[in-house]
A and B are shown apart, each in its own frame.
Chain A
């Protein structure tokens, strides 16, 4: 730990203060940290004045650490010793053409040419369509069959490819191939005029528009020394909780639909809309787009908005409690939810699962508690009672979080603090600096990491959606499950395709 620099969430750090270690020391430090229970927030590469660097941001229970090293062109994969790095190392290989040898499963992440015009690590020719030069992981045997689904799915959802290796009805292995949604977001954010950034960030994952735009705004506020008043902080926190409630109850309804219990599906489907409409009351947009801007919020909360929120929450809270009772006490639902798609705690820790997926497996980590931003520091934490790692636990955690979010919103609504609306102006960013921002979006830990160059321009913009950790959790949940339970397991995680694909 001596070689790691302790940093705080949202704290501006001089890049020269980040310890730059010899790569073998960097590797050793990170492995030791991760093997002893630490988790990876970021591990990525960036180019600075022609030198390729790797930077890691790691966390223990309530502290963040940073370390950097000059990147070798090829190196002994950290994943060979610790699973937590597996996706990060594949991403570095794809983005910068650095080869981690002895990586147990080195395949592309999103399917695009690397940023340095280097030889492709995966031997892909990107004029060919995804998945290019890659054969899916095969399982061989007389009774084995393969099921391929996607990229275009049966419903109105985002694209991705799922490849099941089955013996009869039983899934032996699920391989998830994403990348279809790749829009080149990280590269865009350093290439386009700064005024475009807020709307791009809101589109990283539209269902997490508040989560991602908070990370962006806090980073710019830190680098640009912009103050945010308490009134704006309250609006931001309320919006983040509304986003959480809308998505959780939408998913509870969809889970109900997936086990063919239609009443809660219909009721939750409608109730979800009530919360999107409350976001619209705050921001003018059902997903809260346009609300959060560096320096505060673009739309303030007046008495009219406060009144609507208070009334609507009072009305829906009871309805939601009743529909939850209906869902969670139905025996047919319990029979399908219990012991389905289990991810045990050990696996969840190895994969670094976050958010409700992690909490349902017994990992209590909640960024609102460990790294509080806005007004979360003084607010009570959510407590989860069912942590068996199955669909039933992921559903129960959602219910508990909805109830908890109601409590937070009611607490915050009682604080009548005025604020002024802000315009997305340009501000000068501190040169040669680093900032890491973390917020607990509805799916879990959302984090952005920005580095500026000597002129104060953004040199590297790294984004991590919680789905980056959790997709592997879904793949593990499907092991030895009936293939017909896939929709149910999938919905219990409900991960972001575009948040992963960027």
Chain B
């Protein structure tokens, strides 16, 4: 008992005050890209050629947040002259077309479905489905339950049964072998229901796009309400997206 109390005192209270108090991430974190439209076209083209995800539209100076894995190679190559990653982790979008960005995303809250706010604003229960996710997205979603993030204080919980859920949170490029289980889980959630695509894989297939063994795009199976980009999304990206879309 004494050891428990000693540890409790040493640990203290670690829960973040976000969103009341802003959090600044380490300067190496790669979040919202800034795309310099006026950079030399040849250099932008070089960045696009180097990009392993083919996420850069050099001609229109746009970046596809749904494809990007934020590896930062374009930033290194162009020394930040074409593309620069900022520490802004607020990357969630409500419409697929918003994923293709020049670095200025529309406010997520403005694009949220209003009836979702009314229905789920005070209590949101989600069923997580990993459909061939690599366990990075899964692990960094799970982290929201640790004391630092403490997701439950916002009335948001991940539940065991789809029957108890208001929606599904999907990670992974959706392998053929998970297709049936994913659809069965979706069907089991009572309507009206929310669909969240989390991570580059669930949005676009991510690194696995094009493989004949994966579906590669959740939106091609069921209509997605909320997209959370990243590889994996930072837990704060997920938290920001959930709070702004539903609260």
A interface residues (Cβ-Cβ under 8 A, vs B): 110-112, 129-130, 151-152, 154-159, 179-185, 187-188, 192, 195-200, 202-207, 209, 250, 263-264, 266-267, 269-270, 272-273, 276-277, 280-287, 289-290, 298-299, 305, 308, 319, 322-323, 325-326, 329, 421, 423-424, 496-498, 501
Chain B 65-82, CB-CB to A under 8 Å as 1, else 0, gives 000011111001100000
Indicate if the CB atoms of B72 and A181 lie closer than 8 Å.
Answer: no
- Closest approach, in angstroms, between the C-beta of A336 and any C-beta of chain B? 17
Q: Which residues of A contact B133 (CB under 8 A)?
A: 158, 181, 206, 498
Closest to B212 in A: A184
Indicate if the CB atoms of A157 and B208 lie closer than 8 Å.
Answer: no
Q: Which residues of B contact A329 (CB under 8 A)?
A: 3
Indicate if the CB atoms of B207 and A154 lie closer than 8 Å.
Answer: no
Indicate if the CB atoms of B28 and A283 lie closer than 8 Å.
Answer: yes
- Closest approach, in angstroms, between the C-beta of A205 and any C-beta of chain B? 6
Can you spell out 5 A-B residue pairs with CB atoms less than 8 angstroms apart?
A: A158-B135, A179-B177, A180-B175, A200-B208, A284-B30
A248 to B133 alpha-carbon distance, docked (Å): 21
Beyond the given pairs A156-B142, A183-B208, A203-B231, 5 more chain A to chain B contacts, judged by CB atoms under 8 angstroms and listed by A's residue number, are A183-B214, A287-B136, A287-B139, A325-B3, A424-B73
Indicate if the CB atoms of A130 and B177 lie closer than 8 Å.
Answer: yes
Question: Chain B at the A interface: mostly helix, strand, loop or mixed?
Answer: mixed
Say yes or no: A156-B141 contact (C-beta < 8 A), given A180-B175, A263-B8, A284-B70. yes
Q: Which residues of A contact B26 (CB under 8 A)?
A: 277, 280-281, 308
A195 to B3 alpha-carbon distance, docked (Å): 52
Say yes or no: A183-B211 contact (C-beta < 8 A), given A152-B185, A263-B7. yes
Indicate if the CB atoms of A289 and B136 lie closer than 8 Å.
Answer: yes
- Closest approach, in angstroms, between the C-beta of A154 and any C-beta of chain B? 4
Q: Which residues of B contact A290 (CB under 8 A)?
A: 30, 69-73
A436 to B26 alpha-carbon distance, docked (Å): 36
Q: Which residues of A contact B234 (CB under 8 A)?
A: 286
Indicate if the CB atoms of A498 and B72 lie closer than 8 Å.
Answer: no
A409 to B198 alpha-carbon distance, docked (Å): 33
Interface stretch (choices B33-41, B94-102, B114-122, B143-151): B143-151
Q: Which residues of B contact A263 (CB under 8 A)?
A: 4, 7-8
B interface residues (Cβ-Cβ under 8 A, vs A): 3-4, 6-8, 10-11, 14, 25-26, 28-30, 50-53, 69-73, 76-77, 85, 128-143, 145-148, 158, 160-161, 172-173, 175-181, 185, 201, 206-208, 210-214, 231-232, 234
Say yes or no: A423-B134 contact (C-beta < 8 A), given A181-B175, A266-B146, A289-B231. no
Closest to B214 in A: A183
From B53, B85, B177, B185, residue with most partner A Cβ within 10 Å: B177
Indicate if the CB atoms of A180 and B132 lie closer than 8 Å.
Answer: yes
Q: Which of A192, A203, A267, A276 contacts B11, CB < 8 Å?
A: A267
Q: Which residues of B contact A284 (CB under 8 A)?
A: 28-30, 70, 72, 85
Indicate if the CB atoms of A270 and B14 lie closer than 8 Å.
Answer: yes
Q: Which of A179, A280, A287, A424 contacts B52, CB < 8 Å?
A: A424
Indicate if the CB atoms of B135 and A498 lie closer than 8 Å.
Answer: yes
Q: Which residues of A contact B180 (CB under 8 A)?
A: 129
- Closest approach, in angstroms, between the C-beta of A282 and any C-beta of chain B? 7
Indicate if the CB atoms of A424 and B135 lie closer than 8 Å.
Answer: no
Indicate if the CB atoms of A182 and B70 lie closer than 8 Å.
Answer: no
A284 to B31 alpha-carbon distance, docked (Å): 9
Q: Which of A188, A205, A281 contacts B134, CB < 8 Å?
A: A205
Indicate if the CB atoms of B52 and A198 lie closer than 8 Å.
Answer: yes
Indicate if the CB atoms of A152 and B129 lie closer than 8 Å.
Answer: yes
Q: Which residues of B contact A267 (CB under 8 A)?
A: 7, 11
Indicate if the CB atoms of A281 and B28 lie closer than 8 Å.
Answer: yes
**Closest 5 pairs (CB-CB, A-B):** A206-B136, A184-B213, A206-B134, A154-B160, A269-B146
Say yes or no: A199-B207 contact (C-beta < 8 A), given A298-B73, A322-B6. yes
Q: Which residues of A contact B69 (CB under 8 A)?
A: 199, 289-290
Q: Which residues of A contact B10 (CB under 8 A)?
A: 319, 322
Indicate if the CB atoms of B132 and A498 lie closer than 8 Å.
Answer: yes
Q: Which residues of A contact B71 (CB under 8 A)?
A: 198-199, 289-290, 298
Q: Which residues of A contact B53 (CB under 8 A)?
A: 196, 199
Closest to B137 in A: A206
